[in-house]
Structure 1
Amino acid sequence: MAVGAGFGAATSLMNALSHSEADLESRAYATSGWSIAEIMSLLLDSGWAWAGLAVAVGWLVTRARASRPSALAQGAAAGALALLAATAAYGFVDGIRNGGQLSESPVWWVASVILGAPLGAVGACVNRPGVIGLLARLTVPVGAAVQMVVLPPGRNEVVQTIGRTVVWTAAAVSIGFIVVRFLLVERRRRSSAAAESP
């Protein structure tokens, strides 16, 4: 819950910093301006980043006992709780910034549970061998890349282009690393199995 609360608070604060630096009254800035704070805000407040939080917390909670039967349930609970804590912290920090008005819609609370549980369970599968582990490790980078195609964040074309470039580059590097590592581990496993067989 602490990780989720920290993520939610950091996202809200980064959004505030981004808005404070934006000069939206300037037409040039509104159509083509950008700032580092805005790009960071865009990255933190994207759906794939929140999904990644649930996956990461599911993995953190179960990494030492991923093979236990209860690991999926523990990962699911951790993912949902992390997103609930992130939503609460985000709303709390936004409320402080807005003079005490809470801004979080009930939809986000429900989504935290409905989406957080399966994503946390995915995180619990990250350390598993074979295809299940591979798919679990690919969930966040593939999801991030897909979001940039389906629903790119950003208020103008320049911000969208920068955001897409950063996310696609990070996703491509992550996917390449994950797949190459998987293939090397599988090759080593097959070599060991062949050497042990009579």
Structure 2
Amino acid sequence: MTDDQRHDRRRGIRSRVAFVGSASVAGAGFGAATSLVNALSHSQADLGSRAYTTGGWSVAEIMSVVLDSGWAWAGLAVVVGWLVTRSGELLPVASARGAGAGVLALLAAVAAYSVVDTVRGGSSFPWYESEPTLWWIAALVLGGPLGAVGACVRRPGAVGLLATLTVPVGAAVQMAVLPPGRNEVVEAIGQVVVWTAAAAFMGVVVMRFVLVERRRRAAARLTA
């Protein structure tokens, strides 16, 4: 094996380690943060009060509603899929890299959430049994497609635009169809927060897309 081959091999190993590490760390951080925010929300809830039960809320509870929603977990896989890919990669390579990262991130998130919940609750059961098997299956099944969508964010044109809009559109739809929350007040505040953030993000993304397309067309006319 030549020095160049050894160098390429070491570089490939470092790249794979960085890939696995970054996806796992991002997922674990999200899962642990979600569990801790849920715990903070529960500790501040006065469920013995009828008034609080039916209309009370706290900042921690709103954060919990946002973080522990299906769209946020899906968004984790999309974002990690975007982060591990590079502009100019061939689509099959980028999609495969993003899909793998999405699965790793969601598995790490479920694992971290389970570990923190187990430690915090002092459960005698193994940490991997603290969450339903469905979540592990969902991480394996959905992490790949969602991560592949994230890998398409860097693609030019309509493909990149649609991939970028996946998370905010999904968030807005979920908050409209199945808003999470313990009571109507929490649901309403969560909807306002998510809809406002989603609308602002989509507005910026669409405006940027329009400006880039205008510049591209203008450059094409000048070179024609």
Say yes or no: does 1:172 pair with 2:195.
no
Aligned positions of 1:37-186 closer than 5 A: 37-64=60-87, 66-67=89-90, 69-100=92-123, 101=125, 102=127, 103-186=130-213
Q: TM-score if structure 1 supplies the norm length?
A: 0.97
Higher-helix-fraction structure:
2
Q: String of CA shifts for 1:115-146, please: whole Å, max 9, x gaps.
A: 11100000000010011100000000000000
State which structure, 1 or 2, has the greater radius of gyration over its C-alpha atoms.
2
Runs ≥4 residues deviating over 6 A: none
Q: Could you tell me whether the CA contact under 8 Å between 1:76 and 1:118 is conserved in 2?
A: yes
Question: Out of 52, 63, 71, which is 1:29 matched to?
Answer: 52
Taking the aligned partners of 2:73 and 2:63, their CA distance within structure 1 comes to 14
Q: String of CA shifts for 1:31-53, please: whole Å, max 9, x gaps.
A: 00000000011111011111110
Taking the aligned partners of 1:166 and 1:8, their CA distance within structure 2 comes to 21
Q: CA deviation at 1:69?
A: 3.2
Unaligned 5+ segments in structure 2 are: 1-23
Q: Could you tell me whether the CA contact under 8 Å between 1:127 and 1:133 is conserved in 2?
A: yes
Give identity over the alignment, percent: 69
Cα gap change, 1:68/1:148 in structure 2, threshold over 3 Å: closer, same or farther? closer
Taking the aligned partners of 2:104 and 2:142, their CA distance within structure 1 comes to 11
Q: TM-score if structure 2 supplies the norm length?
A: 0.86
Taking the aligned partners of 2:25 and 2:87, their CA distance within structure 1 comes to 19
Q: CA deviation at 1:66?
A: 3.8
Aligned residues: 197
Q: Could you tell me whether the CA contact under 8 Å between 1:66 and 1:125 is conserved in 2?
A: no
Question: Out of 35, 42, 48, which is 1:12 matched to?
Answer: 35
Unaligned 5+ segments in structure 1 are: none
Q: CA deviation at 1:63?
A: 2.9
Q: Could you tell me whether the CA contact under 8 Å between 2:175 and 2:191 is conserved in 1?
A: yes
Provide the alpha-carbon RMSD of the alignment.
Answer: 1.0
